Structure 1
């Protein structure tokens, strides 16, 4: 889907991003049931191999028309994505599903900070207040879920959150103003991950073939869900949305992910949550929604301001001379 001057309805973008947040919130429990320290890379290899099988037949004709720059961008983003998945999945293997879902949400703070450092155009202070509210919510959720002292798994998920912020920002900077096909970029990223993880699996634990042979039908079901819904659908929506809005907005909406991770953990995983957890969930939702409104208003002002100035004169358009 080539980028165009027509911006999709904001409501549709928001709804689809929230759907991704729900889906991603469920991945931690599904992944936790699949991975061990020796099977992380193999499971990732199988997951992304399934995504490649789904995506490549759909995109093969589109990819033939892709420019070198489009292919190069997709390959680079795929390498960054492979880094995210490696840190995140090793982290999940070494911590609880609920902890992983909470810690990864710190991306909502890291992304706007990184984006502002790159663009040198800071968001209003109130945005960071909203982000702090969301982070406090994460802390309360963690308290309500009896978060233990940070383990190696927790730290690896924290690194994954930082790399995810880099991925979202790079995605926007490299593709937002280009006539790239979002489907192609998604296919290239997921295919890079498939190649990297399948090739690396024999050297990082059990191989892809060994793990595939001993998966149960239920585990294959989890794997297909992770591949088709949590990867193909989710990453395409993220790719499409970040090209039509801003990295900060995407991260704020995806910042509700820990609420859904907690909901899945409580209803399906047997986790318990107290009053602090309920308050924390409310703060995350409130903080992300508040921040989203601030970011949207700031972005709209930045869009309107250049249009009100005459080209090269720095004065309001209504006072400029007509050509």
Structure 2
């Protein structure tokens, strides 16, 4: 119980890091293209974690084998799909719609868990998912325009993130957390760099006036260390102590933290529906965390009819 609680709190902190750095990333990619930014971000994180692995956790290297490599690469591919299709989707759709569709991974995770992991979510988790989804709608879905191709791309992004949560839960029990994290982050770095060379003006990544500018440099340092290296290591390490559905609900707090930090740091105003949405998402997460007393309802039912 203590391990589960500590894992959930740690994952909530990960969601806070991702949400609070959203403004930093937005500012940075206005100067450096997204794939180039992610290529540098994930490469720097891979170097940091790889260096720590070689210096202090070298014993984990003996677990490196073909299956472990393929597992880490699969996680990296799924993570890259999430980032890549979200980026492409934002070229055609609004950020509000993208935020809601990405958040649908909260609904997808328990569905995937049933079919892929044979795990059925508890009643509290199901109720929490529906409440959190309603909150996501109120928080992000201010755009009522018709669906377009960008929404389809973002939907694929949501599938990628949902499957990443599912398979992280599966593989994290089989391999050392740090080693698995290094492989998946390195995979994202390589794929992001390839797409940057193919679709962006990647030469900007080597321009000192761009990379060393205040907003880009701050964004790269903070996201590389906290939002990538530490965050994904924490997810890989702690997800083994909880369920994929609870992880998805906890990560649904990311847009809440993003909205709050945007309000504090960027002066963005929150509408009444957005505030209600934040409350619903938080409520959904709390409800999913409440313990279920097995047999309470059944016991009352039996006593009532026995009388």
Instruction: Give the TM-score taking structure 2 as reference length.
Output: 0.83
- Comparing 42-51 with 97-106, which one deviates more in the overlay? 97-106
Alignment counterpart, residue 256 of structure 2, candidates 243, 255, 259: 259
Aligned-partner SS, 1:9 = helix
Q: 1:233 and 1:93 mapped to 2: Cα distance?
A: 29
Which residue of 2 is the match for residue 82 of structure 1? 80
Among 153, 156, 160, the alignment partner of 2:157 is 160
Structure 2 stretches lacking a partner, 5+ long: 295-307
Provide the residue aligned with 1:317 in structure 2: none
CA separation of 1:8 and 1:72: change in aligned 2, threshold 3 A: farther
CA separation of 1:88 and 1:78: change in aligned 2, threshold 3 A = same
Distance (Å, rounded) in 1 between the aligned partners of 2:119 and 2:192: 37
Residue equivalent to 1:196: 191
Residues 98 and 261, structure 1, Cα contact 8 Å, conserved in 2? no
How far is the alpha carbon of 1:188 from its aligned partner? 0.8
The one of 9, 14, 26 equivalent to 1:32 is: 26
The answer to whether the aligner puts 1:45 opposite 2:39 as a matched pair is yes
Contact 1:252 1:292 in 2 (8 A): no
1:242 to 239, 244, 253: 239
Q: Distance in 2 between matches of 1:265 and 1:115?
A: 33
Shift of 1:99: 5.4
- Give the whole-Å Cα distance in 2 for the aligned partners of 1:92 and 1:268: 23
Which one of the candidate residues 128, 131, 136 is aligned to 1:130? Answer: 128
Equivalent in 257, 277, 281 of residue 280 of structure 1: 277
Aligned residues between the structures: 286
Give how far 1:134 is off: 1.0
Q: 2 CA distance for matches of 1:169 and 1:29?
A: 28
Structure 1, unpaired ranges of 5+ = 1-6, 302-323
Listed one character per residue, the Cα deviations across residues 221-269 of structure 1 (whole Å, up to 9, x for unaligned) are: 1111111110111111111122222111211111211111111222223
- Once the two structures are TM-superposed, the CA of residue 204 in structure 1 deviates from its matched residue by 1.4
Q: Cα RMSD (Å) of the superposition?
A: 2.6
Is 1:72 aligned to 2:67, yes or no?
A: no
Q: Aligned runs of 1:148-227 on 2, under 5 Å?
A: 149=145, 153-176=150-173, 178=174, 180-207=175-202, 209-213=203-207, 214-215=210-211, 216-227=213-224
* Deviation by residue 1:97-131 (Cα, 9 ceiling, x = unmatched): 66554443222211011101223443345532321
- The answer to whether the Cα contact below 8 Å between 1:32 and 1:92 also exists between their aligned partners in 2 is no
Contact 2:128/2:285 (CA < 8 Å) preserved in 1? yes
Inter-partner Cα distance in structure 2 for 1:233 and 1:94:
32
C-alpha offsets along residues 129-187 of structure 1, whole Å, 9 cap, x if unaligned? 321111111111135xx4353565554333222211111111222342x2x21011111
Distance 2:97 2:225 in 1: 24
CA gap 1:204/1:282 in 2 versus in 1, 3 angstroms: same
Which residue pairs with 2:288 in the alignment?
291
Q: 1: distance between equivalents of 2:92 and 2:224?
A: 22
* Aligned structure 1 segments of 4 or more residues deviating by more than 3 angstroms: 89-103, 124-127, 150-158
In structure 2, the CA distance between the partners of 1:186 and 1:163, relative to structure 1 (3 Å rule), is: same
